[in-house]
Copies of this chain bind each other. A is one copy, B any other.
Amino acid sequence: MTKIGAWLIGARGSLASTVLVGARAITHGLSGPGGLVTELPDVAALPLAGLEQLVFGGWDVGSTPILERARRMALEDRALPEGLVAALEDDLRAAELRVRPGVIEGRGPVTRGLNGARAARQIEPLAAAIEQLEADLDRFRAEHRLDTIIVVNVASTEPHITLTPEHDSLEGIQRLIHLERRASFTPSMLYAYVALERGFPYVNFTPSLGIMPRGLQELGVKHGVPFYGSDGKTGETLMKTVLAPLFRCRNLEVMSWDGFNILGGGDGRVLSDPRHKQSKIRSKSGVLASSLGYAPPGKVSIDYVPSLGNWNTAWDHIHFKGFLGTKMSAQFIWQGCDSILAAPLVLDLIRLTEFAHRRGESGPMVHLASFFKNPLDVKVHGFTDQFAMLLDYVEGHRTRLGRRR
């Protein structure tokens, strides 16, 4: 059995911990595959890697161990069964040993608090930081005799920085590194650089910049590596992209669409910092314009409610104009557990990315658009239309591989 590395940026967070619990629970037969898109009959037709083939590792800047995080998910959030976490203690401890210190940009008041003594490296000088991170990946591969490594960013949202023309080319980016322009890089960009430079696929599950700079995409194409992002679509925004076509197809003008999110947990705390929140809201706000064909007035807000823990409640109010100008409204309330919603998608992305890589595909994996709030190079924002792109991809490969339903 070949082994595949699953390298998670933010490996000690709630999401990564849930990914680990899930992969191991399913491998041990302790839980079913519900929530995994890759287990839908239409998608499972591809010869995807099994979850038992995955070896997990990653970077993190925090020091709360994975096992501790999983226990909190069970005890405080009641999002995982306590007994399941207990049964997987050995697996979680083993994964803990494969977590390496992440880089930190050192400016943010929120992330500064996370900066444990041994848990993070300053990103200066850039070249040295890159070298260390590359060494982490190489050692991981060698130690576990991995076929490849899929790098997935599941860390907290970073503050946004403004991209410059130099970010548009690989040459420009390398010049910025050489000139030690630290303010031109966020950690997620450095991680993407490192992964692609070493020939490993990179998936950005967060709204951080990650793979957004064109110069980094150029690097991926240069090395023949697939990549994609950004920002996993799990809750309120998923509902939005599912609902918006109703109004468009029925010629009902959306006069306003306001969405109010409350959540706790680490994500909630990080997003309570306005600089971090801005990246997230920017990511959430774009979908309506492309789904409806116009941008209705309205607001997306995110507020930190510590008692909610990993649970996110969103209330959306849609005010629309019907026939003869009569105003009507629809509202929805979404109550989801963020890590539980996101974790299976991360596993799906690892499997689908590994498959694309194995098949020699490179560049943006546009067939994965339905997984993201801001799918790279895809203009289609209706969810079912995006999902059809995935089914078409599967169908194409099945035909090529001579498989049958």
Contacts and interface: CB of A to CB of B under 8 A. Distances in A.
Interface of A: 18, 21-22, 25, 31-37, 39-40, 75, 78-84, 238-239, 242-243, 245-246, 249-253, 255-256, 258, 260, 262, 297-299, 301, 303, 305-308, 313, 315, 317, 319, 321-337, 340-341, 343-344, 370, 382-385, 387
Nearest to A81: B75
A78 B75 contact: no
Secondary structure at chain A's binding surface: helix, strand, loop or mixed? Answer: mixed
Interface centre among A250, A329, A340, by most B CB within 10 Å? A250
Given A21-B324, A83-B75, A242 B245 contact: yes
Contacts of A322: 34-35, 336-337, 340-341, 344
A256 B306 CA distance: 8
A252 B249 CA distance: 26
- Which residue, of A308, A327, A341, has the highest number of chain B Cβ atoms within 10 A? A327
B385 A251 contact: no
B344 A383 contact: no
Nearest to A330: B334
A384 B335 CA distance: 25
A159 B358 CA distance: 60
12 contacts: A31-B325, A37-B251, A40-B251, A238-B246, A243-B243, A246-B383, A249-B370, A301-B301, A307-B319, A322-B337, A322-B341, A331-B333
